[in-house]
Amino acid sequence: MSAVDPAHAARRGPALDVAVVGGGMVGAAAALALARAGFATALVEAHAPKPWQAGDEVDLRVVGLAPSSIALLDGLGVWTSIRAARTGPYAQMHVWDAASGAAIHFDAATEGRDLLGHIVENNLVQWTLWQALDAAGVQRRCPAAVSGLDVRADRVQLELADGGTFGARLVVAADGAASPLRKLAGIAVRSRDYAQRAVVAHVATERPHAQTAWQRFLPTGPLALLPLADGRSSVVWSLPEAEAQRVLALGDADFCNELGVASDFRLGRITATTRRAAFPLKLQLARTYQAERLVLLGDAAHAVHPLAGQGVNLGLRDVVELRDTLLAARAAGADFAAAHVLRRYARRRRSADTLDACSFDALARAFAWRLLPAVAARGVGVAVLDRVTPLKRQLARHAAGV
């Protein structure tokens, strides 16, 4: 790579259109999407993802990719590789309330689709996206971390922890829920700690999962059994902090037994389990998704309760909205990093994300009600929803990102 005179570079403007900071699933997808759309793009990340290999144990962190996310990944040319590697397709979802017994069932066939989505390992998605970056012309700066921002009239100058600097007309913060970049930009958040942890593991069951995502709402929080490609199910069990720690400390046999009871033995006995891990749960929304020549997306903008499995899907919808907004501005001959352009992206996505985040929060609260009249009312509501086809279909379409 030839040397560039810094003074000359400053006179002619930044060499890059976009710098994406954060190389997780959403950040890597953003970098790839923007590069494929013709923007000169760099990706800054502190740690490269661990290479995914078919012989490795299935990653404990999995995501339920909705049709909207699959469409984006397919458009980026990576979905075929992901699907061929290892995914757990599901055509149905069954959700039921432990207290009232009321249930709602979703079936892809009623929507005219083959599937509702795919359960995929986080690491597989991230690694496949990373493998596509070079061919798309993305400059990978890894390992690297941003230590400062200098916002100028025509660019943002990024200061790196190793002393290096480079400029881009737009900075995209995709650096996670704790987002250092969001803090450097002075963007505040509002948040609520659920005082819960999601206990995750992969388990073998007596009965097949039947390509169905199972979710039971318990007074302590939701429990999901998600279908994996190898016939096992991925467990996401939301529990109060102390209860989560107790469950983590159980021996395998006791854990399998308690999980069987908690899941109402819907898939029969739990016959084996992997190691377990747990992750804290909270609701967090950035006050704005935009600052001067900077936008937020993914967990840097929003963190939601995992009960609907929509966190990554929301982030990938951010990617689509940002790409389309920047393309429209460029086509109109406008500065794609101008404040009014970024406000358009921020307004649309924050509105949609806030609605979803508050809906998930309301569901979590409603299913935690324990008083008998409230439980009875909740049961009636769930039963009615399962029978009102137009409303049920609208919920399914919204979850699919249609």
Min mean pLDDT across 55-59, 107-111, 312-316 is at 107-111
Single-letter code of the amino acid located at 88 = G
Encode pLDDT of 79-117 as tens digits.
999 999 999 999 999 988 887 777 888 899 887 889 999
The band of 309, judged by pLDDT with boundaries at 50, 70 and 90, is low
293-313 exposure pattern, b = at least 16 Cβ within 10 A, e = fewer = bbbbbbbbbbbbbbbbbbbbb
Q: What is the largest CA-CA distance in the chain?
A: 73
Q: What is the mean pLDDT of the chain?
A: 88
pTM, to two decimals: 0.90
Residues 315, 302: Cα–Cα separation, whole Å: 8
Q: Is the per-residue pLDDT at 380 higher than 90?
A: no
Average pLDDT of span 252-275? 98
Q: Is the per-residue pLDDT at 290 higher than 60?
A: yes
What residue ranges do the domains of the chain occupy? 7-400
Residue that wins the pLDDT comparison between 373 and 233? 233
φ and ψ of 94, to 5 deg = -120, 125
CATH number of the 7-400 domain: 3.50.50.60
Encode pLDDT of 151-188 as tens digits.
999 999 999 999 999 999 999 999 999 999 999 999 99
Q: Is the per-residue pLDDT at 3 higher than 50?
A: no
Instruction: Please choose, from the candidates 380, 358, 305, the residue with its C-alpha nearest in 3D space to the C-alpha of residue 97.
Output: 380
Helix (H) or strand (E) holding 43: strand 41-44
Q: What is the pLDDT of residue 268?
A: 98
Single-letter code of the amino acid located at 356 = D
The band of 12, judged by pLDDT with boundaries at 50, 70 and 90, is very low
Residue that wins the pLDDT comparison between 334 and 381? 334
- Percent of the chain at pLDDT > 70 equals 85
Q: What is the pLDDT of residue 110?
A: 83
Average pLDDT of span 37-62? 96
